[in-house]
Structure 1
């Protein structure tokens, strides 16, 4: 008789041995530890899931649903910090945000008292600086004042300096207006009102100061705007305006030297020292020696100080 077990018997023996091994008293302690670890793992998993779901439900009321996972210690610290802020009436609704509070805690090494002082100083600074309203659209009056300020700078400083540099009288300017992305939806009531007011101010008080204007990157959307705006403008003004599409570079270089035209408009000027052409006020009026040669140098000095005082308007 063969001692070889059939496959089914072998499987049964293997199962019996496994059962005996697991039931062995010597392994009881190890089995108990494993059971505790499994239970702890399950509890931890359920807690993380609960916390994740709680945050997820809170965000369901917003525009997008962001699944956010908070570290337990961070969550406790933020909760304590939040309560401290509420007690001292230092928690405006717009700043009742977990991550904002966490940033301040991290900045002060999770010292709640120091973080609260930092937080209170932040709120005071925002109030004094006007940070809460800095992103609001300004009003027409401030836009018009800025426009007038630029005209005054040109009349008192820029035109005289350019006249000396070119050795001929200069009292007009060339303007480039990039309208990429504008469409009919951009033509809101305040925009139309601004155009009307500035048009009247320019025509009544600063006549014949525009030599030419190039409106570039004008797509189909802007051309619809132009059809609405053009009748509002003075016919003499519109005759000086050229509306161009995306292939405008050649036209600009016909009237503006490439060294004076910003690189992003097809020229070679970068104003690298000034941080780029958009930040630069490049021109002969920056030459103090040249300014002294202008016919009304003393007036220029007084006007410059006056304009500087109004920069905040």
Structure 2
């Protein structure tokens, strides 16, 4: 999540690096998943499909495999159950030993996520919780970000937001900090984020990186893919200018050089301050039209008051589903015919084997 020197890196916006016909590509991907019967309504929205396409450079087959792996992981890991019922009672204690959290938004309206790794006490952290429980908490936070933080930021910014700006303060971090438990936690979180929440990182600032951090970075970067590495910028103690280009001082905590203290909430990393806590925005998020595309609308009917483009989108999906249903029926009919042919071929083979035995028995001796 960091880079060895202070360099200028172009950070792509969500709309960058997409083929001109990306809408057609997303639709083709949707149809491919429908054809194989692997498109759960809850996870088949445009933005999710687009993230998995970007993850695999818009290769449909590779994107399909990644998406199916994601759906299987959700079932096997009981992600919905974790999201709805998991209680992280040790939240406050863990925050003391591993300061981290979401805090307001950057200048483009994206949520800011901050970790103060240099202040982490892994021994105390592991007394307060377990790696397994923390991973569940991380998954729950990721789900909250997808479901509430991004939609809230989109409403506040009046544009689509689906990625995060992250700041890691690595002051004092070196190879000695990368113990076996630290490696286990890092690798598990990295695997989850890379495979199941792809393309949700917009930009990553690593600040207060010392010379001792360089060796650790050589080890860490081997676990990161090229797309993630391209979004990373490692900065030494003179990082403030770079941060202020991306984040307003009022949204940056004082411990990073900004003006915010969130004193009413016990500190910035305890506040979870952001548009997702605005009562008016929270109410809007509950409205289907606010956070979904046509896939999240009812397939049974379209409101007479719905916009024309919404009706058109829903109509297209209905046509797609009808085609899928027809194809599925045709495939089942073909399978039945194949099964009947296999039975017939089996019986024919038995008859031919019998004839071969008879012919062999009556064959005259050749002496």
**Which runs of 5 or more structure 1 residues have no equivalent in the other structure?**
1-132, 301-313
| Offset at residue 298 of structure 1 (A) | 11
The answer to whether 1:191 aligns with 2:182 is: yes
Q: Deviations over 1:147-205 (max 9, x none)?
A: 21211111111111111111111010101111111111111122222222222211221
| Offset at residue 268 of structure 1 (A) | 1.1
Among 112, 135, 142, the alignment partner of 1:151 is: 142
SS in 2 for 1:180: coil
Q: Determine if contact 1:270/1:277 at 8 Å carries over to the other structure.
A: yes
SS in 1 for 2:206: strand
Distance 1:177 1:134 in 2: 18
Aligned to 2:220: 229
| Offset at residue 257 of structure 1 (A) | 1.0
SS in 2 for 1:282: coil
Question: Which of these two proteins has the greater Rg computed from alpha carbons?
Answer: 1
| Offset at residue 135 of structure 1 (A) | 6.4
- How many residues are paired up? 168
Distance 1:170 1:298 in 2: 16
Aligned to 2:161: 170
Change (3 A) 1:203 1:220: same
Map 1:37-52 → 2, pairs under 5 A: none
Q: Determine if contact 2:148/2:276 at 8 Å carries over to the other structure.
A: yes
Please list every run of at least 4 consecutive aligned residues from structure 1 whose deviation after the TM superposition is greater than 3 angstroms.
295-300
Among 245, 260, 271, the alignment partner of 1:269 is: 260
The answer to whether 1:203 aligns with 2:194 is: yes
Q: Deviations over 1:231-266 (max 9, x none)?
A: 111121111111111111111000111111111111
| Offset at residue 211 of structure 1 (A) | 0.4
| Offset at residue 212 of structure 1 (A) | 0.7
Map 1:232-247 → 2, pairs under 5 A: 232-247=223-238
Q: Determine if contact 1:177/1:213 at 8 Å carries over to the other structure.
A: yes
**Which runs of 5 or more structure 2 residues have no equivalent in the other structure?**
1-123, 292-367
Q: Determine if contact 2:151/2:290 at 8 Å carries over to the other structure.
A: no
Q: What is the root-mean-square deviation in Å for CA atoms of aligned residues?
A: 2.3
Distance 2:125 2:258 in 1: 34
Higher relative contact order, chain-length normalized (CA < 8 Å, sep 6+): 2
Aligned to 1:180: 171
